[in-house]
Structure 1
Amino acid sequence: MRVLLPLFVGVATTLVALCTTITASHAEEKPKLLRDVKTIVTLGDSITQAGADPGGYVWRMQHYLDALYPNEIKIINSGISGHKSTDMSSRFQRDVLDHKPDLVTISVGVNDVWHGFYENHPEGDGPSGVAIDLYRQKVTGMVEAAQAQGIRVVILTATVIHEDLENKENAKVRTYNQALREIARSHKCEFVNLFGACEKAIRAYRSVGGNAENLLTSDGVHMNPAGNQLMAHVILRGLGISEKSLDSVKSAVKR
């Protein structure tokens, strides 16, 4: 099965352009969403925190941006392991607004759902999770706080919880991601469907390679190199950077 992994990475790379709700221009100039952007904050949990490590999705985003727009855009990583919407909301001023970014990506939801399955709660209704109404309230509050200061907001969906796409965890993630979609629509901010990208890539691989595990993740949740590349690519496409532009600098991002 390992022999097929390079094929999977290739399949995932070709799919990522189809997995964002935002249409990007094929011009080489900076896309509209990134015009006048000097600072981006990436808010999230352990997936984002680890994304700053070499080869991580935030690291890859920075390297793509450096190659395309040298010395123009800096990313500040505000990911903290284990954090949920309630945690991120409480530190939003310190870890986002105080940096005075031009754009923020908000990645929240995996722990809100996943932790609800802790402590023998097979339906995901445990006290360590965050109920969807509170989740919606906290995410909405963060979006509105950023927009009140003129910060562009990009909402990223939660990614998979284990790579069994039909499990109860992922069924619940889809519900929370739908709440994110509705918030993005009502507040006119950008929305990037990372869960959809993961789902398409996993299904594409399994259609030819069988029911392998850890295709995008190292442990069912945290990203491996293929998952980090997919996340970076889909987010950058969501920011409006064309496939042509990303392909032109991909050698600068290899690790």
Structure 2
Amino acid sequence: MGNKVVFIGDSITEFWEWKDAVFFKSNGYICKGIGGQTTDEMLLRFKRDVLDLNPQIVVISGGINDASEFNAPYDEDETLANLKFMAESAESNGIKVILTSVPYTRVFNWGGKSKEVSARTCELNVKIELYAHQKGYVFADLFAPFLKSDGSMDSQYIPDEIHPSKEGYALMKTVIEEAISSLLTE
């Protein structure tokens, strides 16, 4: 096997390496997050950015740009199909899979238009989790850690309502480390 873990995703993944480079470098993790990408675009680079690197584990995080209609109308079935294809491609290449939920995101503001996306991401997260359990993949919940006891978002962790703060990434790190550890001990 090549590299231990590859993370593929959008800006939430990309910024993680910027805000906690030590987490990636000290563990030999590779960050393949690209800001603004939908799962369609992640799928196009999946072979190059994941399969060709032959990692032991892939962490697949995507869907927020789909739900926000960043560059196309939202189609939940297509988003799920893209995530499933990536997961099953990894599995068929002997790579263990961690699927994550979309972290808490409430409102997207693109081109002066504000879009409420929390209901979409909640529905998508339920389906990602169900699929992960059905296939025997590890599911990492990156949504719940950002909630207050009343169910609202804790703004200290996601100050722009999209991207985690350094403290938010620390919460995600705890969840992901547990998920990775569970696969390395199998």
For the criterion TM > 0.5, the same-fold answer is yes
Cα pair 2:56 2:96 within 8 Å, conserved: yes
Tell me: CA distance 1:213–1:136, structure 2 relative to 1, closer, same or farther (3 Å): closer
Question: Which of 78, 99, 109 is residue 134 of structure 1 equivalent to?
Answer: 78
Cα pair 1:111 1:129 within 8 Å, conserved: no
Q: In structure 2, what is the equivalent of residue 70 of structure 1?
A: none
Tell me: CA distance 1:79–1:212, structure 2 relative to 1, closer, same or farther (3 Å): closer
> Where in structure 2 are there 5+ consecutive unaligned residues?
108-114
The answer to whether the aligner puts 1:62 opposite 2:14 as a matched pair is no
Instruction: Measure, in 1, the Cα distance between the counterparts of 2:181 and 2:145.
Output: 16
- Aligned residue runs from structure 1 range 196-235, under 5 A: 196-199=144-147, 203-204=148-149, 214-235=155-176
Relative CO higher for 1 or 2, CA cutoff 8 Å, sep ≥ 6? Answer: 1
Percent identical among aligned pairs is 26
Instruction: Measure, in 2, the Cα distance between the counterparts of 1:129 and 1:215.
Output: 30
Between Structure 1 and Structure 2, whose CA radius of gyration is higher?
Answer: 1
After TM superposition, give the deviation of residue 38 of structure 1 in Å: 4.6
Q: In structure 1, what is the equivalent of residue 112 of structure 2?
A: none
After TM superposition, give the deviation of residue 179 of structure 1 in Å: 1.5
Aligned residues: 175
TM-score, normalised with respect to structure 1: 0.62
Q: Secondary structure at the match of 1:82?
A: coil
Q: In structure 1, what is the equivalent of residue 118 of structure 2?
A: 170
Tell me: CA distance 1:103–1:213, structure 2 relative to 1, closer, same or farther (3 Å): closer
TM-score, normalised with respect to structure 2: 0.83
After TM superposition, give the deviation of residue 168 of structure 1 in Å: 4.3
After TM superposition, give the deviation of residue 186 of structure 1 in Å: 2.0
- Aligned residue runs from structure 1 range 29-108, under 5 A: 38-53=3-18, 55-56=19-20, 59=21, 61-62=23-24, 66=26, 73-108=27-62
Instruction: Measure, in 2, the Cα distance between the counterparts of 1:217 and 1:111.
Output: 16
Q: In structure 1, what is the equivalent of residue 133 of structure 2?
A: 185
> Where in structure 1 are there 5+ consecutive unaligned residues?
1-35, 67-72, 117-126, 242-255
Alignment RMSD (CA, Å): 2.5
